[in-house]
């Protein structure tokens, strides 16, 4: 009788363990199905869809900035798609449902706690999709300038001409005026010179115009223009030149070569740059005794 009583008790005790083992085995099967599905979907997206997207963007001649943004979004989409498909096929939909609630709550909290970050992300989307704002462009903003090295959804990396790298928040670029110096096919550069009033201005204008016309990097159309722009202690004459396919290196080189050329030609013509004419004082300075002073004690007599 003891044996007959022990056997039902043993079965009743082992039954929960068997159910637990079956539950773990089912979970392991689901996890294995998820991992296999995730790996397959990710491999298809990474090694088939991404290259096809790259070929399509190459065919359409998409700008590098927009291309990198689309490729980054595609990479994120491949991972997200692999997660969703893997969890669905593995029967783990409840994770997606709970994850959706968590993501919604996290998004609300993030919106309040990180408004600047969200603002930079939104600004990054506008910058990436802006065809006038591309990697490799020379830009100026807030009295700073440099060449765009990388555009991300939070910040833009700019290399200055001192070889420093600045990570500029995207919201700063979208909230301020940004000058793209190389967006168009031509760029105007100006070179001011200051001469004296008694110099031959016709000769100055001719020298500046001839030096521009003889420079192979200066365009004939639009034609170089030389004008007198200011009259102060000296006369300011400004030459305006146009160059093609501009970049920061070409701009600096052409401006420097032109400036050196006009300095040499002006010196040969006997024209000194920016030297004010000396003015003589007439009269005599001396000391006058108080008894004979009739000039208010200034000590100045003619």
- pLDDT tens-digit series, residues 164-188: 999 999 888 888 888 888 888 889 9
Percent of the chain with pLDDT over 90: 25
Which region among 36-40, 150-154, 185-189 has the lowest average model confidence (pLDDT)?
Answer: 150-154
Tokens coding 126: 């506008």
- Let me know: does 53 contact 71? Beta carbons within 8 Å: yes
Kindly report the average pLDDT of the chain as a whole number: 78
Give yes or no for residue 268 having a pLDDT over 80: yes
Q: Domain limits of the chain? A: 7-113, 131-180, 186-268
pLDDT tens figures, 9-22:
555 655 666 676 77
- pLDDT at 116 (0 to 100): 65
Hey, how many other C-beta atoms are within 10 angstroms of the C-beta on 246? Answer: 20
Give yes or no for residue 60 having a pLDDT over 60: yes
Q: Which residues pair with 145 in a beta bridge?
A: 140
Q: Which residue has the tokens 């990097």?
A: 217
Give yes or no for residue 290 having a pLDDT over 70: no
Global pTM exceeds 0.85: no
Beta-sheet strand order (sheet of 178-180): 165-169, 155-159, 144-151, 138-141, 178-180
Using DSSP's 3-state secondary structure scheme, residue 194 falls into strand
Q: Averaging pLDDT over each range in 59-63, 66-70, 261-265, 275-279, which range is the top one? A: 261-265
Which region among 34-48, 70-84, 236-250 has the lowest average model confidence (pLDDT)?
Answer: 70-84
Beta-sheet strand order (sheet of 186-195): 186-195, 235-244, 225-231
Query: Which residues have CB under 8 Å from 209's CB, separation 6+?
Result: 224, 226, 239
- pLDDT at 281 (0 to 100): 38
Q: Rounded to the nearest 10 degrees, what angle do helices 115-128 and 93-113 cross at?
A: 100
Answer CATH for 186-268 from 3.30.70.100, 3.40.50.1000, 3.30.420.10, 3.40.50.720: 3.30.70.100
Answer CATH for 131-180 from 3.90.420.10, 1.20.1250.20, 2.30.30.60, 3.30.300.30: 2.30.30.60
Give yes or no for residue 24 having a pLDDT over 80: no
Nearest to 138 by CA among 53, 54, 248: 248
- Let me know: does 181 contact 138? Beta carbons within 8 Å: yes
Query: Which residues have CB under 8 Å from 208's CB, separation 6+?
Result: 191, 193, 226, 237, 239, 262
Hey, how many other C-beta atoms are within 10 angstroms of the C-beta on 274? Answer: 13
- pLDDT at 283 (0 to 100): 45
Give yes or no for residue 294 having a pLDDT over 60: no
- pLDDT at 239 (0 to 100): 95
Q: Residue range 73-97: average pLDDT?
A: 78
pLDDT tens figures, 113-138:
455 666 777 777 788 778 778 888 89
């Amino acid at each position: 009788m003891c044996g007959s009583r022990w056997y039902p008790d043993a079965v009743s005790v082992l039954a929960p363990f068997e159910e637990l083992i079956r539950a773990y085995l089912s979970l392991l099967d689901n996890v294995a199905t998820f991992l296999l599905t995730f790996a397959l979907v990710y491999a298809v997206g990474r090694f088939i869809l991404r290259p096809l997207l790259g070929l399509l963007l190459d065919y359409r001649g998409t700008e590098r900035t927009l291309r990198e943004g689309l490729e980054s979004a595609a990479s994120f989409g491949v991972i997200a798609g692999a997660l969703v498909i893997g969890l669905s096929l593995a029967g783990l939909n409840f994770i997606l449902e709970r994850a959706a609630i968590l993501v919604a709550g996290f998004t609300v909290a993030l919106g309040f706690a990180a408004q600047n970050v969200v603002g930079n992300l939104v600004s990054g989307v506008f910058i990436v999709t802006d065809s006038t704002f591309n990697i490799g462009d020379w830009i100026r903003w807030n009295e700073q300038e440099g060449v765009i090295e990388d555009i991300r959804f939070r910040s833009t990396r700019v290399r200055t001409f001192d070889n420093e790298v600045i990570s500029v928040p995207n919201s700063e670029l979208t909230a301020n005026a940004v000058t793209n110096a190389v967006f168009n096919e031509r760029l105007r550069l100006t070179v001011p010179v200051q001469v004296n009033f008694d110099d031959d201005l016709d000769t100055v204008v001719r020298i500046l115009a001839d030096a521009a016309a003889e420079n192979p990097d200066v365009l004939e159309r639009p034609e170089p223009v030389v004008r007198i722009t200011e009259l102060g202690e000296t006369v300011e004459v400004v030459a305006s030149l146009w160059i093609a396919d501009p970049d920061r290196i070409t701009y600096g080189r052409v401006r420097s070569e032109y400036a050196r050329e006009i300095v040499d030609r002006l010196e040969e013509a006997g024209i000194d740059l920016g030297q004010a004419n000396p003015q003589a004082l007439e009269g005599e300075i001396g000391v006058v005794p108080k008894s004979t002073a009739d000039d208010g004690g200034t000590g100045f007599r003619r």
